[in-house]
């Protein structure tokens, strides 16, 4: 029998997914740079939470030990790394669960108004339709539940960086799993229908075309 945190089946992946998982597991500088921000955003979450696209699990160590966590990870090559990260936490395994999920981000495996929080870090840049994903997040959050996010976004319109982002977007999306460097994700979040949205624009050092970021919390 599989441990409770393992998915019941192993979906087939693509070569691109395998490469992306290898690249993700080989780098640590991003997590080190954003550690303080993640502690502030994730450290006060409690109850049942769902993380969209947890990858190899860099966020796990920032959640309080009493959470019941579900990770929706459509890339099967991330799962072995994610399982390793869960085991290394040294916490009750029954509090952790991995689901393969919908790669389009339009259907999440949770009931209506069933979760205390949903977390997205560097996910809304790559889903086909962010507005659909945000509607699904609202569906599964309890009233008063929180959507917590860290996302790279488009630069300000009219700037040289924004023009460069627009120029490279087709190739960037092709080689980076549909990632869009020029999405105004903050607009999608603020117009999604949340009761309250608090977000901050900042710059990730060394991010190049993907340097502009937002982070924050939206409350249902």
Tens of pLDDT, residues 64-87: 999 999 999 888 888 888 999 999
| 4, 97 Cβ separation under 8 angstroms | yes
How far is CA 53 from each of CA 73, 102, 103, 162, 184, rounded to the nearest angstrom? 5, 10, 9, 26, 20
- Burial (0-12, 13-18, 19+ Cβ within 10 Å), 120: buried
- Domain boundaries of the chain, sorted by first residue: 15-219
Structural fold of domain 15-219: Rossmann fold (3.40.50)
pTM for the full predicted model: 0.86
How would DSSP label each residue in 13-39?
A: --HHHHHHHHHHHH--HHHHHTHHHHH
- Answer yes or no: is pLDDT of 135 > 80: yes
């Amino acid at each position: 029998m599989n441990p409770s945190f393992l998915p019941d089946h192993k979906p087939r992946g693509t070569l691109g997914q395998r490469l992306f998982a290898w690249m993700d597991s080989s780098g640590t500088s991003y997590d080190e740079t954003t550690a303080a921000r993640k502690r502030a955003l994730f450290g006060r979450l409690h109850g049942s939470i769902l993380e969209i696209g947890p990858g190899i699990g860099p966020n796990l160590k920032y959640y309080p030990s009493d959470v019941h966590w579900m990770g929706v990870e459509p890339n099967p090559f991330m799962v072995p790394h994610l399982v390793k990260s869960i085991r290394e936490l040294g916490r009750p395994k029954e509090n952790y669960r991995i689901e393969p999920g919908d790669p389009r981000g339009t259907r999440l495996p949770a009931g209506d108004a069933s979760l205390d929080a949903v977390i997205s870090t560097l996910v809304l840049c790559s889903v086909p339709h962010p507005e659909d994903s945000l509607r699904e997040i609202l569906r599964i959050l309890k009233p008063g539940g929180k959507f917590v996010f860290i996302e790279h976004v488009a630069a300000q319109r009219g700037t040289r960086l924004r023009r460069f982002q627009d120029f490279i977007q087709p190739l960037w999306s092709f080689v980076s799993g549909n990632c869009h460097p020029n999405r105004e994700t903050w607009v999608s979040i603020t117009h999604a229908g949340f009761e309250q949205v608090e977000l901050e624009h900042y710059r990730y050092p060394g991010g190049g075309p993907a340097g502009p970021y937002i982070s924050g919390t939206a409350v249902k």
